[in-house]
Amino acid sequence: MVNEWKEQAEVDPLRAAVFAQSLHTDDPPALRELEREALDAGVPIIRPQTRSLLHFLMEIKKPAAILEIGTAVGYSALYMHAYAGEGCRITTIEIDPDRAAKAAEHFAQADAGEDISLLIGDAAQILPTLEGPYDLILMDAAKGQYVRFLPEILRLLAPGGVIVSDNCLQDGEILESRFAVRRRDRTIHKRMREYLEALFAEPSLVSVLLEAGDGIALSVRR
């Protein structure tokens, strides 16, 4: 790769992100209260740019089956549900029983309980029991686990299917050298690097890493 491309770093990424977020207008009104509730409770729901991107992908892909890893209280699942076509099935996995209970409540309130299957437990155990194929997979759980989930994700991904991996830049930490990262974050740092390298090296995928939101990797199966 030619080093001249360094010059492109002229755009201040923070200002760009604020501007991009200000353009994002398509949150379903029914989800505003849930967004407030999640943010107040410190639940890390998908950021506005990730939402725009998901909406965009759903419009292009019109997925019939979606898999999400990391439901939290159900915001992103309901966000996708709001833009999903007739008959689209969403399967979502959450390890924390309290969060899962809240998510189940929110799905019922939104009358989405029929379309969304909530599976409670560790995705590492649940993924091998799933059949797929899924047209869209949102990876949004513990960042250090992504690399562990990858073989199952690849098994479950449909041809032409898309993986959206959230929080790939770990608030910028992934750019730092391993030694600049606090000791307790080093394992996550190492595993996220391994995950990104594996995505880009995987011959059946075409991947791109966007610095939007908290870093989003997009991968499509050839």
Per-residue binding letters, 12-51, with ligand SAH (x by CB under 6 A): --------------------------------xxx-----
Shortest separation between residue 144's beta carbon and ligand SAH, angstroms: 9
Which three-class secondary structure state does DSSP give residue 68?
A: strand
- Contact status: 135 vs Mg ion (CB under 5 A): no
* Residue 72 touches which of Mg ion, ligand SAH, none (Cβ within 5-8 Å per kind): ligand SAH
- Contact status: 141 vs ligand SAH (CB under 6 A): yes
Long-range contacts of 80-83 (CB under 8 A, 24+ apart): 80/54, 80/136, 80/138, 81/110, 81/112, 81/115, 81/116, 82/28, 82/30, 82/31, 83/54, 83/55, 83/58, 83/59
- Contact status: 94 vs ligand SAH (CB under 6 A): yes
Q: Which of residues 143-162 bind ligand SAH (CB under 6 A)?
A: 145
Which three-class secondary structure state does DSSP give residue 137?
A: strand
Alpha carbons 157 and 221: distance in angstroms, whole number? 7
Alpha helices in the chain (DSSP H): 13-23, 32-40, 48-61, 75-83, 97-109, 123-126, 146-156, 186-201
Which letter does DSSP use for residue 176 in this model?
S
Give how many residues touch Mg ion by CB under 5 A. 3
39 token code pair: 């943010």
Closer to ligand SAH by CB, 93 or 192: give it. Answer: 93
Shortest separation between residue 155's beta carbon and ligand SAH, angstroms: 17
Shortest separation between residue 67's beta carbon and ligand SAH, angstroms: 12
- Contact status: 166 vs Mg ion (CB under 5 A): yes
| Through-space distance between the first and last CA atoms of the chain, rounded to whole angstroms | 24
Closer to ligand SAH by CB, 59 or 122: give it. Answer: 122
Contact with ligand SAH (CB under 6 A) among 52, 54, 75, 196: 75
Contacting positions for ligand SAH (CB under 6 A):
44-46, 69-70, 72, 75-76, 93-96, 99, 122-124, 140-142, 145
